[in-house]
Amino acid sequence: MTFIEDRRKIRTLALLFCVVTFTTFLFSYTFRDPSLYFFKYAFRLSDNLFSKGPCACRRCVAEAEDDPWFAERFNQSVHPLMTRENSVLSDETFKWWQWLQSERQPANFTEVVEELFRVIPDEVLYMDAGPKRCRTCAVVGNSGNLKGARYGGLIDSCDVIIRMNQAPTTGFEEDVGARTTHHVMYPESAMDLDNTTSLVLIPFKTLDLQWIISALTTGTIKHTYTPVMSRIKANKDKVLIYNPTFFKYTYESWLEGHGRYPSTGFLSLMLAVHICDEVTVFGFGADQNGNWHHYWEDNSLAGAFRHTGVHDGDREYNVTLQLADKHKIQMFRGR
């Protein structure tokens, strides 16, 4: 064997060693189970080059024609987020929305919306779907099945990361991740956010729209049906409003009228299904022992948030399982 051949062999072995070392590191750092979707992300680039579907991902949520059950429910023309243009509600939608929390003597809705969009941006977002886009989204629920699941790296690798209500990340990063791009809340579940996170408000009544205006400016509203934060730390240029029309569409098309209204978790899932191309779901359902509790809580509180009297938790979970079974979302069930 010549000296040149020796050098080539050494270079080949060195390259192979680097590839194996890097791959092993990536596996051990990012995933507890190396099989979890590594190849999906590893080959995304090659998939994009040959994509002829409605998006550039390996599988696109919006491919409704491949499943009659999904096609019957999925309506991409109903936009999840409110703008001035789509804020005009039908009489039927307005009556249903106002009925949710039975607000007495509500303010003039049109005037409140006009004031709202003088405080926050009036932008049409996430309408850029097409064969060149691959927007990956993680919807992170609050279930105790996230404890010890070590999904943090996988969650943080997504483009959009949606969390909800009082969910903390500090101290739980290994299991739930550290990044948040969108935090879904309503006035009674509000919390302070950093400057890079979009606050997504779910309004149940006109007063909720007045609250977000107040919470970002004067701080005069301190009570809805319960005491609420009078001011909130959030980037007002990144505040988004869940559209009441989309709210009603979710309730009727996806839950078929079960429960009084959908939970924050299910509304967050539907937001992702309509603005994302690939959706992964974490922290939904019970843990491996059948307990229902939040990942930051003690197991003794099991079941505390499953039966609230307003949500049909079983129906919501069954629809979520159907979406997973039909490969519209990917569910990670934790521990």
Are 204 and 98 within 8 A, CB to CB?
no
265 annotated binding-site participant: yes
294 annotated binding-site participant: yes
Long-range contacts of 115-122 (CB under 8 A, 24+ apart): 115/213, 116/209, 116/212, 116/213, 116/241, 117/83, 117/84, 119/212, 119/213, 119/216, 119/217, 119/236, 120/212, 120/216, 120/236, 120/237, 120/239, 120/240, 120/241, 121/237, 121/239, 122/83, 122/84
Are 176 and 152 within 8 A, CB to CB?
yes
Give catalytic status of residue 183 as yes or no: no
165 annotated binding-site participant: yes
235 annotated binding-site participant: no
Active-site residue among 182, 183, 293, 311?
311
142 annotated binding-site participant: yes
Number of residues in the chain: 335
257 annotated binding-site participant: no
Active-site residue among 242, 249, 261, 295?
261
Structure tokens given for 163 = 């969390």
Give catalytic status of residue 261 as yes or no: yes
In DSSP terms, 161 is beta-bridged to: 138
225 annotated binding-site participant: yes
210 annotated binding-site participant: no
The residues that are catalytic are 261, 311
Cite the annotated binding site by residue number.
101, 142, 165, 225, 261, 265, 285, 294, 311
Cite the annotated binding site for substrate by residue number.
101, 142, 165, 225, 261, 265, 285, 294, 311
